[in-house]
């Protein structure tokens, strides 16, 4: 079976009704788990966002970024997005394993709305590692995003607004209109949505340890897989190691792993130029001023007050906190592997080497660089084009074998 055929079978079954599906001839089950995020009060627009419960510290809340464009689909307070609070995540597992003894938490890329492309990845990882693969959506992505953000007609209107009002802007599209608008309005959303997801994952692991997920053993090992921005989140989880949850976890990063300023996400599929530039500019200013213009974010990035959460700032810009970041990676290098693509224009292999092996290449993190023998991109490493399926299938199996051998070693 080639990659395209596997993709079609998994996609068809994934979209069927029901919370538990078995594909017998593929030896896989797909389980839907309903989830209620207990950390939505972190988000802008909540009455609780003005305080830090841990330190009983209060902050002034600014609403200046809430009504920027005049589009109701975009100008919505983060806390008011109900789909981001109550949603489903998914577990793919071998059907011949009743209770999984190993678990892999799988994070997707930026501006993703559907799990389709990841299903073959999760399936093969489940088959070869015997782990339960948890497909977990990052806040405001996948089924945690507003449905209207995927509505072509509504988002074309937003994209046209961005083109008309900012003629110097490039890579505007209906696909990236929502995320571009929202991140330009308030780039700090990258942290708060990541912090919510970070907290959600801790909640999931606690559910597992308390035997609330019947298909996974409470004694399971917990590993991490990150693609693109999912690698960024995974790196922070691994370095922060909240409550010792990820002390023994292995992390495999695909097309990612570098600091966020060394990723180049300007694309019709990710975000437009104006949003990307604003995001980088704001974080550069915040770091250089020690977060003086954002008291609340500065509080959560104070490593003395919030030693785990503050790893976020360590991964923002390559030239900031380089020593602290590299000292931490040196301790973890044997648990981390990167798999990057030579022609990836979003996540450059050179930047992966710079971040994970250090500026002086004195960190022994394994970074595997591949160049597939067909036209690929960061967004589509495994095209569904029929005429190249032999080459795509071979490349895909190489990627899967690299990850599986790492997890199984």
Q: Can you give the pLDDT at residue 49?
A: 58
pLDDT one-digit tens code per residue, 161-192: 999 999 999 999 999 999 999 999 999 999 99
Is residue 375 over pLDDT 90?
Answer: yes
- Tell me the average pLDDT of the chain: 95
CB-CB contact of 35 with 88 (8 Å): yes
pLDDT one-digit tens code per residue, 250-301: 999 999 999 999 999 999 999 999 999 999 999 999 999 999 999 999 999 9
CATH number at residue 210: 3.40.50.1820
CB-CB contact of 336 with 249 (8 Å): no
Which sign, positive or negative, has the C-alpha torsion 117, 26, 134, 128? negative
The span from the CA of 55 to the CA of 309, in Å, is 14
Give Cβ neighbours of residue 56 (< 8 Å, ≥ 6 apart): none
Q: Give the orientation angle of helix 119-129 with respect to helix 3-14, to 10 degrees.
A: 100
pLDDT one-digit tens code per residue, 48-86: 656 788 888 888 766 555 556 778 889 889 999 999 999
Is residue 369 over pLDDT 70?
Answer: yes
pLDDT one-digit tens code per residue, 16-28: 999 999 999 999 9
Q: What is the mean pLDDT of residues 193-216?
A: 97
- The total number of structural domains in the chain stands at 1
Q: Can you give the pLDDT at residue 54?
A: 87
State the DSSP string of 365-402: -EEEEE--SS---SS-SS---GGGHHHHHHHHHHHHHH
Tokens of 200: 């959600």
CB-CB contact of 106 with 133 (8 Å): yes
Sheet holding 336-341, edge to edge: 20-23, 28-36, 86-94, 132-135, 100-107, 216-227, 251-254, 336-341, 366-370
Stretch (H or E) spanning 103: strand 100-107
- In the 8-state DSSP scheme, what is residue 245? T
Supply the range of the domain harboring residue 72.
3-408
Q: Can you give the pLDDT at residue 9?
A: 98
Q: Can you give the pLDDT at residue 52?
A: 85
Q: What is the mean pLDDT of residues 340-365?
A: 97
């Amino acid at each position: 079976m080639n990659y395209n055929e596997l993709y079609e079978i998994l996609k068809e079954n994934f979209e069927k009704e029901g919370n538990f599906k078995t594909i017998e001839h593929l030896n896989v089950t797909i389980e839907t788990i309903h989830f209620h995020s207990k950390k939505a009060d972190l988000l802008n627009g909540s009455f609780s966002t003005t305080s830090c419960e841990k330190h009983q510290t209060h902050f002034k809340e600014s609403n200046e970024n809430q009504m920027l464009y005049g589009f109701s689909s975009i100008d919505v307070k983060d806390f008011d997005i109900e789909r981001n609070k109550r949603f489903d995540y998914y577990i793919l597992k071998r059907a011949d394993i009743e209770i999984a003894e190993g678990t892999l938490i799988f994070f997707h890329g930026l501006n993703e709305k559907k799990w389709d492309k990841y299903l073959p990845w999760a399936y093969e990882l489940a088959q070869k590692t015997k782990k339960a693969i948890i497909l977990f959506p990052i806040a405001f992505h996948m089924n945690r995003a507003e449905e209207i953000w995927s509505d072509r007609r509504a988002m074309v209107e937003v994209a046209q607004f961005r083109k008309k009002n900012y003629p110097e802007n490039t890579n505007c599209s209906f696909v990236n209109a929502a995320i571009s608008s929202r991140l330009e309005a308030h780039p700090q959303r990258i942290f708060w949505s990541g912090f919510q997801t970070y907290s959600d994952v801790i909640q999931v692991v606690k559910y597992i340890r308390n035997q609330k997920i019947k298909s996974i053993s409470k004694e399971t090992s917990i590993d991490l897989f990150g693609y693109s921005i999912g690698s960024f989140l995974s790196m922070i989880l691994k370095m922060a190691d909240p409550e010792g949850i990820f002390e023994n976890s292995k992390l495999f990063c695909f097309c990612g792993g570098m600091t966020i300023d060394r990723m180049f996400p300007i694309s019709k599929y990710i975000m437009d130029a104006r949003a990307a530039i604003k995001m980088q500019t704001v974080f550069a200013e915040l770091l250089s001023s020690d977060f003086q213009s954002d008291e609340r974010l500065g509080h959560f990035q104070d490593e003395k007050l919030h030693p785990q959460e503050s790893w976020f700032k360590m991964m923002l810009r390559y030239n900031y906190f380089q020593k602290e970041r590299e000292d931490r990676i040196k301790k973890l290098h044997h648990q981390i592997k990167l798999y990057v693509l030579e022609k990836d224009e979003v996540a450059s292999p050179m930047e992966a080497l710079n971040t994970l092996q250090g500026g002086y290449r004195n960190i022994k993190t394994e970074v595997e660089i591949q160049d597939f023998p067909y036209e690929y991109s960061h967004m589509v490493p495994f095209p569904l084009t029929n005429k190249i399926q032999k080459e795509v299938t071979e490349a895909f199996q190489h990627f899967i074998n690299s990850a599986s051998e790492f997890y199984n070693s």
